[in-house]
Amino acid sequence: MDGAVLGAVAVGGVVGSLGRWAVGLALPHAAGSFPWATLVVNVSGAFAMGVLVAFLVGRPGAHRLARPFVGVGVLGGWTTFSALAVDVVQLTAAEHVQVALGYVAATFLVGTLAVGAGTALGRRVWVP
């Protein structure tokens, strides 16, 4: 185990998790209502992952802790599949099945587009 990598992941995880918590406070939702906070963090995290991948590909000499800190730590703490799953279960339990299906579709579609947009932006910025 590399202590520097573990430390980078841990510190990044704290940063990402606290950020996600703050977005949840800023965009609260009741059980059964649309979970905007989770959608925002997951889509913005997908965009940021696209930018990060383009950065790492465009800069092979990037610092060895960049990916563990940002990709695993910050973005791992920022994005949340478990909250998405809980939101879908709560929407379904509240008999908002169409909203739940729309939420899943929007998360997948917009998240995938966000990764593509982030990668495209990152390539324009970092690739010579």
Quick one: three-class SS letters along 54-102?
HHHHHCCCCCCCHHHHHHHHHHHHHCCHHHHHHHHHHHHHCCCHHHHHH
pTM: 0.90
- Per-residue model confidence (pLDDT) at position 24: 95
- Per-residue model confidence (pLDDT) at position 23: 97
Measure the CA–CA gap between 98 and 72, rounded to whole angstroms: 33
Closest listed residue to residue 72, CA positions, set 17, 26, 9, 22:
9
Q: Give the model confidence (pLDDT) of 21-36 as tens digits.
A: 999 999 999 888 999 9
Q: Give the model confidence (pLDDT) of 58-97 as tens digits.
A: 888 889 999 999 999 999 999 999 999 999 999 999 999 9
**Residue carrying structure tokens 């950020």:** 19
Mean pLDDT, to the nearest integer, of 41-48? 97
